[in-house]
Structure 1
Amino acid sequence: MSKLPGTVVVLSGPTAVGKSTVGDAILAAIPEATRVITATTRKPRANEKDGVDYHFHSKEEFLVGIARDEFLEHAEVHGYFFGTPKDQVDAAVERV
């Protein structure tokens, strides 16, 4: 596959539709691809690690990030905040 500098692919969908499965397949097929680690206020599950699966924040930290315009997008879902940190996207685009 030819390298497409700065190309961003967004996988979006409801919970448990297979976004991670599709993302893992893309990462396996395209060695130069990278995953952006998103942020959330929910508690980590037993198998999740901060900075690997999500960046886990307190609600207060997340709200400060919103006020500082640090997220490309964010939403409240089932009482928790989720968002994509701008610095994570910028770093991913710089790597390609």
Structure 2
Amino acid sequence: MANWQRLLRQVLGFVRKNPDKANRHLRTAGETVKRRTGGKYDRHIDKATGMAAKYLGRQGGRDRRHDRGGYGGGPPKHRPDGYDDRR
């Protein structure tokens, strides 16, 4: 587990320092997988690479002093009592 965490820290460090290169590598990987699968999963690959690019874009400009972890970078919003989500 520690090796995975170390690898993830290295990858995110690379992304922060080189966002253009990271996006280029991501696109290249997506194109390679598309070619290897013969176009059968193009829609899924496009969705995955798009989400990864969006995530990496957020990582590139993040100020670590304000990083609270988790998805979205902050605590959940307060909802007043009686708030109904089912509208």
Q: Structure 1 or 2: larger strand share?
A: 1
Q: Given the two structures, how large is their TM-score scaled by the length of structure 1?
A: 0.27
* Larger Cα-atom Rg: 2
TM-score (norm 2): 0.30
Choose between structure 1 and 2: higher helix proportion.
2
